[in-house]
Amino acid sequence: LEKWSLQSALGQLQAKLDASEAESEAQIEQFLAQDLPLDSFLESFCQSRTRSHICRTQLEKLQELLQK
């Protein structure tokens, strides 16, 4: 039952957001070090930023619901 609690969901979303943010940072570092071509960088960076945005929005909505 604890697996499905709201606090557990909040923690999982936060972990997913943190991982996505770290992935974005790693992609930036690879691109700046010229280890990643521009086309590959743009594609992967846009995907990871989209995931981050979705996670952040879900997290904020869940926090908002918990406060009510």
Residue 5 phi, psi dihedral angles, 5° rounding: -75, 160
Question: What CA–CA distance (Å, rounded) separates 62 from 9?
Answer: 9
pLDDT > 90? residue 32: yes
Q: Please tell me the chain's helix, strand, coil percentages from 3-state DSSP, rounded to the nearest 5.
A: 90, 0, 10
pLDDT > 80? residue 3: no
pLDDT > 80? residue 58: yes
Residue 33 phi, psi dihedral angles, 5° rounding: -85, 5
pLDDT > 70? residue 12: yes
pTM for this predicted structure:
0.79
Considering its fold, how many domains does the chain have in total? 1
Domain that holds residue 44: 2-67
Residue type at 40?
A: S
